[in-house]
Chains A and B, each alone.
Chain A
Amino acid sequence: MVRLITHNLLACHVKGCTSNNFPLQFKDVQVELREAEFNPDFLRGFIPRLEWGALVDAARQLGDTSLPAEPPEMLDDDFLQKLHHVLLEVHIEEGAMICPNCNHVYPISNGIPNMASAYHQPIHNVVN
């Protein structure tokens, strides 16, 4: 859990933190690899949603350098297998994600990131 597909879709949402708030940086992460079902159609359909550079960087941070810097024109099986592994089979179980802009820390425990912690600071300014 906290697969790289998820990491690629989450941005910091602390009130007022609206630029340079993605991708979140990993800190002290504990990684596990777990097999997932390979579905080439799903992958092809999802590529347009990905921030490719962020994905490649996140994978490199975790020691996986299998992805090219740009998505290839030909989405052959070999490439899709690599993408499959990076997107769906790398799980971050413990650690944290940190906003590159406001440094807010999102803790991950037992595979579940707590994205609700973003609210505690500024919320007092907003309501009341």
Chain B
Amino acid sequence: MTAQIIPSKTSAEVALAEAFGTARAKLPGNAEVAQLREASFESFSKAGLPHRRIESWHYTDLRALMREALPLAQPPGAEAIAALGKEMRAAGLPAQSLVLVDGVFIPELSAKLPEGVRVSSLAAALAEGRRDVVTALSAEWAGVKDPIVSLNAALMQDGVVIDIAPGTKLDAPIRLVYASVSATPVAHFSRSLVLVGTGASVQISETSFGSGGRKGQINNALVIVGGDECDIAHTLSLTDTEPGSLRLESFMVKLGAKAHFDSFALITGGGIVRRQIFLRFDGADTKANLRGVSLLRGREHADTTLFVEHCAPGCEGRENFRYILDDEAVGVFQGRIHVAPAAQKTDSKMLCKALLLTDKVAMNSKPELEIFADDVVCGHGATCGGLNEDQIFYLQTRGLTFAQAEALLLDAFGGELVDELPDESLVAAFRAEIAAWLAKRPQGARL
């Protein structure tokens, strides 16, 4: 028998409780939403910050890693927004950009989207008590069991709600562009929703604008609900987190029947990143493809944790994640695939590959299959190691220096997943980001 240990609250937990206490009256939403916030905070508060004794957080012990809780971001002022707008016009934002500043949706900086797409702020939808929005946030959603998602539900300040009408076909991606005007590091909590109608086809790409777009403590959630026969391609570029920052990204996806879902994320940059994906196959014969590349150096820490639930028959899931770890970086990959009894003929393959460039890095890789249906094909694999010496030698015999050979192989390792993206401009953009990361390696250090 081990005694139940109820640890006292950490100072970060105490500060979060205070922040919620002060902010709750001002946070957007009708009475039902207020209740949801209370319940969510209660659920967070009971669990506390996740720590290593919670299995899904074992390798990212927030209790230890999050020493303090930063103050909540104030809504950006009109002057700051105007200055940012000027900067954005000068730089030229891509078409169909929706801009969020410190977690708040700013319509005046955002593009008008074509017919079939309706955009509003989360705050407005919550104030109005929009049924579908509130439902998408409510407890039946798998992710709500996670303390960090609960905390997000309690404190969400704003975000954007995008409705894609059934049958809408968009050629160019809708861009969620994150920016910051806060002068000091703050915490923000934002949540966005994309509701994709039956048979609609859409690309969503999450990027950021400007330097310092992502400093402080960020708790972001993106919810996508895809109707039957929809086709969704999502990308996330998480490449500008500053050292000392904390990034908590929850991505919740629920798909109807015969849908097609594709998601890719590139993670580089400082601080601590935890990305959690909750993917639920709700309708039959749907295909989903999750991919990610994490490039880490220094003492960076990036965790990608998947919860994939097969609830319907005949679905195909592909999860493919790669890590390059340099210096003393820490990579975490956890993939839990759950196949419910009803999900016969599930076809699931998960693969995680890590390249370890020094002997001081750590890669924690944990696939987990929970299969309750008998007629399924499920596989997973994980590899972890250095660059292939035979490949390096082959390249050297052709005249490439050791450093050039290494760079070419690293670029290929990350680039391979990028090359599978459906849109060529995205392929080029992500490959350029990988190349930029590689260019910062001290060349020839190991010659």
Answer yes or no: do A and B interact: no
